[in-house]
Structure 1
Amino acid sequence: MIRLAANLSMLFNEYGFLDRFAAAANAGFKGVEYLFPYAFSPEALRQALQECQLEQVLFNLPPGDWEAGERGLASLPGRESEFRYSVVEALRYAEALNCPRVHAMAGLLPAGADDATQAEHHATYVRNLRFAAGEAAKVGREILIEPINTRDMPGFFLSRQAQAMAVIKEVGAENLKLQFDLYHCQIMDGDLIRHLERQFSAIGHIQVAGVPERHEPDVGEVHYPAIFDRLRALGYRGWIGCEYRPRAETHTGLGWGEPWGLTSH
């Protein structure tokens, strides 16, 4: 069964944030994700979810100073205490919103990072993920890591599927999972269906967007119906996050999702 979740950081920007929940529900979505919940109280978000009968399926840990260009803390040496606080805060929201998983963004390497610097970031990343997975396990949650393409996010520490799988193996926590974003994978690695098959047991969440412009999944170089067919054949029961930038008004571009319960107008 294909279950689509609206990414409210990208979709329905025609509305204020709290009004996007109702817009998503009216369009046929049953779940929602977004980058960060922290500008709103857990109570306000929980009320929006309950009123619209939506499930919260994913959000990110606090990423550091987003406005200054930071993109996560998990691999940053010297920021361990801040990362640990971010884990506690994210899990507090996850429990309040009944959200089963949170994404720990890896962060950026400094420009011109040499091998020693990269090794230090890797060691920090592994230690921090072990801590995060341990804390999440206490409350029955998963920690996700996501390779992000370095065209959209230059310098991002985690950019390749093989790198992510090696980290998951090294950390060795059952609740550390892969956030498999097909848009990022296509740009960095390609061979989407084979990656999906090889990594299937490690996948905790999937996201989609058209490649290369990151518009609706019915445009560009990826044929998503074939991928959805393979997901069904593999028995995927998780959510698929729609993390794309609409070409125009969100509702008018939802025709691609009609076979899976979405409605457009």
Structure 2
Amino acid sequence: MFKDIPLLERYGKAAKMGFKLVELPFGYTEKPEDLKAAADQNNLHHVLINAKNDDNKGKLGLAAVKGEEDLFKQCIGETIRYAEVLGVKVVHVMAGDGDPIKDLDTYKVNIRYAARELAKKGFLCVIEPINPHFRSTYFLNSFDQAKNIIEELKEPNLKLLFDVFHCQLICGQITFQINRLQDIIVLNYDLFFGHIQVSQPPHRNEPDTDGELNYEYVFRVLKALGKDWIIGGEYFNVKDNADWVKKYGLEF
């Protein structure tokens, strides 16, 4: 959201729309103290950040990139420093580009390392499949793949970040996938139980814009599970409001 304005100014914009919680995908161009100050000035709380990767040089992560293991570890260390300053409990560790078969061992070793380092600080490590139409070379592009890795590694703080937009473009069957994957989406932490990201396919705008999904139904499915989900609006905003929140019976 708010890609047309500088990062530190986006906090005020989000607050004016009514938001109280924010995600920070790529914030390493700013000092963590400045990010925390911007959030505090607008009564906002960070709930999720992406792990640092290669100084934001266009890479979507390093976990599956063979030969970059040392850099990956350095980035996890820097991520933890940011997370501690920002008060974040959830870190999304992105895979980067890679072959789902040839680079699987590299990915598993790195994700295990990240999960264990984050666990030392009481943080959650989440992974997220990204649809191949968005980035064809991204390593993690299947929910089955993510599920198998999480279940194999058996790290207590390793969970799934479920993005409805990516799910629709990867495999569809949103209701089936939510119910099938709920055990690895659930985040047993004090702040919340589960984290879901939403946007409207195919253009990735607000959930109540024209598109492929009936979000009234999607949110009803989530509510039926009886969990206090945190819903992240990961979309390209075309409106100056977030009326969809109240429209679908949600709260900021």
After superposing the two structures, state which structure 1 stretch, 133-142 or 44-53, moved more: 44-53
Which among 101, 106, 123 is matched to residue 95 of structure 2? 106
Q: How big is the shift at 1:246?
A: 1.9
Matched, 1:239 2:212: no
Q: Does 1:63 align with 2:65?
A: no
Aligned residues: 241
- What secondary structure, in the 3-state scheme, does the structure 2 residue paired with 1:120 have? coil
TM-score normalised by length of structure 2: 0.90
- Whichever residue aligns with residue 148 of structure 1, its letter is I
Amino acid at match of 1:242: G
1:244 is paired with a residue of what secondary structure? coil
Instruction: Select the residue among 195, 209, 213 that pairs with 2:177.
Output: 195
Is the contact between residue 20 and residue 44 of structure 2 (CA under 8 Å) also seen in structure 1? yes
Tell me the secondary structure at the aligned position of residue 131 of structure 2: coil
Matched, 1:179 2:179: no
Which residue of 2 is the match for residue 79 of structure 1? 68
Tell me the CA shift for residue 50 of structure 1.
1.4
Question: 2:75 is aligned with what amino acid?
Answer: S
Kindly indicate whether residue 31 of structure 2 is the aligned counterpart of residue 41 of structure 1.
Answer: yes
1:255 Cα offset (Å): 2.8
Structure 1: gaps (5+ residues): 1-10
- The structure 2 residue matched to 1:256, chosen from 241, 244, 250, is 244
Deviation, structure 1 residue 188: 0.6
CA distance in 2, matches of 1:125, 1:261: 37
TM-score, normalized by length of structure 1? 0.86
1:119, distance to aligned residue in structure 2 (A) = 3.1
The SS at the match of 2:103 is: helix
5+ residue gaps, structure 2, are: 188-194
CA offsets 1:5-42 (integer angstroms, 9 cap, x no match):
xxxxxx23353221211211121111001211211111
Output the amino acid matched with 1:177: K
Question: Counterpart of 2:226 in structure 1: which amino acid?
Answer: G
Query: For residue 105 of structure 2, what is the amino acid of its counterpart?
Result: A
SS of 1:119 mapped into structure 2: coil
Bigger mean CA offset, 195-204 vs 79-88: 195-204
Deviation at 1:66, TM superposition (A): 4.1
Post-superposition offset of 1:230: 1.6
8 Å contact 2:24–2:46 — kept in the other structure?
no
- Amino acid in the other structure paired with 2:243: G
Cα deviation for residue 58 of structure 1 reads 1.0
Q: What is the alpha-carbon distance in structure 2 between the residues aligned to residue 121 and residue 220 of structure 1?
A: 35
